[in-house]
Every structure is written in C-alpha cells, then in structure tokens.
C-alpha cells in the first residue's frame, strides 16, 4: 500500500516507453514518493520493460492508479501542476520546481490532494492537458536544448519535494571511526610541539618567542582536527625526535 505520508501524486500522461515509466518510478522512490498515476500508456499495462527499469521500485508500478483519461486521473485532486518547457498561450502562474514543491508541501500538509502532471516523451503535454492544471512548473533549462527525458523531469521534481519536507544539511564531514579533537587534545598537542621546537631552537630570537608561540598555537586552534589527526601528529613529532637522536 502507498505510504500515509502527505505527498503529491505524480501523473504520467500517455507515457510511451515502459523504460521511462520504470525510470520515473525509481526516481520517485529515491525521494520517498510512491503515489504514481498512469494515464493511457501507449504500450498497455502492465509493462515488463517498466518493471525491469524500476529496479527495486516495482511496488510503485504494482500500486499505480491506471486511468483511461486524464479527467479520470485528476477527479479527486484539489490542485494540479503541469510540467512543461514550451511557452503556452494560457494564462497561468509559472513556478520553478523549488517554488512549486514548496506550495505542494503546504497544500498537502493542509489536507489537500495535489497532483503533478508529466507529459509523453515525444512532445510533452498538450494544451488541453495543461488547461486542466492550476499552475505550471518550468525547469530553467538551456533554451537551445529544453527537452527533458520523462525520468529526468520526475527526478528533478521529486528532489525538490524532498528538499521541502526533509531537513537537508548542506555540508557534513565524515569522521570515519574518529571524533573531533577537543580543546584538551589540541592543547596537549601544541604543548608537545612547543616543547620539542623550543629544544630545537625554533623560537628565536628570544624576544620574539612569545609572539611566535601565540601564532603557532593559533594555527592549530584554526584547524578542524580529529583525535586521529592529533594522534598522528604526536607520532610524527616523536619519530622526528627519535630520528634526530639516532643520527646524533
């Protein structure tokens, strides 16, 4: 059964190739969407090429709502978007995918049923299809090559949906098996280096030594060091000292 999470239905209008239907299902499920509707697929239904291409998202195909006409597919919807790259002689608000999915999230959270229509591969939605929509979604593509594959268009829209309903962290750091070094870890490292460098005569002349130590400590405090980094740097200094003692 489709999930209970409020979400829009993605309506594939007269899709022509089973492979593209499967790619659309896979793209939807990548971003947590599982309400697919299919209107008058050219090659009939079910379609084994769609199943093969779905690769793990076959449940969406099994549970897809199949309709003979677009009117039947949209009859229970409160708000409908039409995806199109071509200029239309129709007066409708035009949204970017991001703005459209923000509005879709607001409407579904309020209990409304939202649908997004995607046209057939060769020419996209007809004006008669777009006329049934409340608004248009247009992707800011290269005007000299505006054609998007059905699966690509579904993927872009589904991605923007996910961004609206899930917290997306812009930058993360994979620490592996380590943790960030704390202040005590870094302080011990700096003291280790200062002590050995002082023995080596690095902080010279004496009157400049305090300022040099401040700069040196500041250098380490700026670095995002892990505990593994700190352990390695301790080891580097210890090995250098051992090497020097052997040579002496």
Alpha-carbon distance values, 72 to 1, 7, 50, 57, 146 (Å):
21, 19, 22, 25, 30
Residues 199 and 125 in one domain: no
Residues 48 and 106 in one domain: yes
Residues 80 and 17 in one domain: yes
Residues 17 and 123 in one domain: yes
Domain assignment present for 171: no
Residues 76 and 154 in one domain: yes
Q: Is-contact 214 223, C-beta < 8 A?
A: no
Residues 39 and 116 in one domain: yes
Residue position matching structure tokens 């291409």: 53
Residues 59 and 150 in one domain: yes
Number of independent structural domains in the chain:
2
Output 9 or 244, whichever has higher pLDDT.
9
Alpha-carbon distance values, 170 to 173, 216, 228 (Å):
11, 31, 25
Give me 126's structure tokens: 């007809």
pTM for this entry: 0.78
Residue 114 reports pLDDT greater than 80: yes
- Residue 144: phi and psi, rounded to 5, are -85, -10
Domain assignment present for 38: yes
* pLDDT for position 221: 92
Angle between helices 150-165 and 18-30 (to 10 degrees): 10
Residues 155 and 217 in one domain: no
* pLDDT for position 213: 95
Q: Is-contact 162 29, C-beta < 8 A?
A: no
> Dihedral of CA 57/59/62/68: which sign?
negative
Domain assignment present for 173: no
Measured CA to CA, the distance from residue 32 to residue 35 in angstroms comes to 10
* pLDDT for position 146: 79
- Average pLDDT of every residue of the chain: 93
pLDDT in tens, 185-196: 999 999 999 999
Residues 33 and 115 in one domain: yes
Q: What average pLDDT does this structure show over 75-90? A: 89
Domain CATH for 64: 3.40.1280.10
**H/E stretch holding 197:** helix 183-199
Residues 204 and 136 in one domain: no
Domain assignment present for 78: yes
Measured CA to CA, the distance from residue 96 to residue 78 in angstroms comes to 20
Residue 168 reports pLDDT greater than 90: no
Domain around 212: 183-247
Domain assignment present for 113: yes
Give me 50's structure tokens: 């769609």
């Amino acid at each position: 059964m489709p999930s209970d999470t409020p979400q829009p239905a993605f309506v594939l209008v007269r899709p022509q190739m089973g492979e593209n239907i499967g790619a659309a299902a896979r793209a939807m499920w990548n971003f947590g969407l599982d309400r697919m509707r299919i209107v008058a697929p050219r090659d009939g239904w079910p379609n084994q090429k769609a199943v093969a291409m779905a690769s793990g998202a076959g449940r969406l195909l099994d549970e897809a709502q199949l309709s003979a006409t677009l009117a039947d597919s949209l009859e229970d919807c409160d708000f409908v978007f039409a995806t199109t790259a071509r200029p239309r002689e129709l007066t409708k608000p035009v949204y970017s995918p991001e703005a459209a999915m923000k509005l879709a999230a607001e409407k579904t959270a309020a209990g409304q049923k939202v649908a997004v229509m995607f046209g057939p591969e060769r020419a996209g939605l007809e004006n008669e299809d777009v006329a049934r929509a409340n608004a248009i979604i247009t992707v800011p593509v290269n005007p000299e090559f505006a054609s998007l594959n059905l699966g690509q268009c579904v993927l872009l829209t589904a991605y923007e949906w996910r961004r609206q309903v899930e917290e997306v962290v812009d930058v993360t750091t994979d620490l592996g098996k380590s943790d960030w070094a704390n202040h005590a870890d870094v302080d011990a490292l700096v003291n280790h280096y200062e002590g050995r460098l002082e023995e080596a005569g690095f902080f010279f002349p004496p009157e400049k030594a305090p300022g040099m130590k401040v700069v040196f400590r500041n250098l380490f405090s700026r670095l995002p060091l892990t505990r593994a980094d700190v352990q390695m740097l301790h080891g580097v200094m210890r090995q250098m000292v051992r090497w020097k003692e052997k040579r002496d």
